Amino acid sequence: MSTKKIILVLIVLFLGVLTLLSIKWRSGNTFEKITVTGNYTITREEILSTARLKDTLLSAEEINIDNIQDRISKHPEIKKVYVSKELPSELKID
C-alpha cells in the first residue's frame, strides 16, 4: 500500500471518529433552566404542566420542540407560542 493511501485512510478514520464524538457530545446536552416569558395571565407551572415538562434537569432527548409547541398552543388562553433551545442549557418558551 502506498503512503498516500495510508494517510487518506487515517484521515477518513479520524474524521469519522471526530463526527461520532461530536454527535455524542451534542446529544448529551442537558437543559438546566426553563424560561417562560411574554405571559401574564397563566402561571408558569400551568404552562409547564400543559407542555408536560418538569421544572428539573432535562436531557436533550426529552425535548421535542414541535411537541411542546403543539401542547402549549392547545391551551385555550394561548394564542401563539414559540419554543427554542438557547444553548448551552436553557429552554425558552415565549
Q: What digits encode the pLDDT tens for the residues 18-52?
A: 888 877 666 556 777 888 888 778 888 888 888 88
Report whether pLDDT(56) > 80: no
Percent of the chain residues past pLDDT 90, beyond the cut: 10
For 64-78, the pLDDT digits (tens) are 788 888 888 888 888
Q: What is the pLDDT of residue 10?
A: 92
Alpha carbons 63 and 30: distance in angstroms, whole number? 10
Closest C-alpha to 93, from 27, 52, 30: 52
Q: What is the pLDDT of residue 11?
A: 93
Q: Name the amino acid, one letter, at 62.
A: E
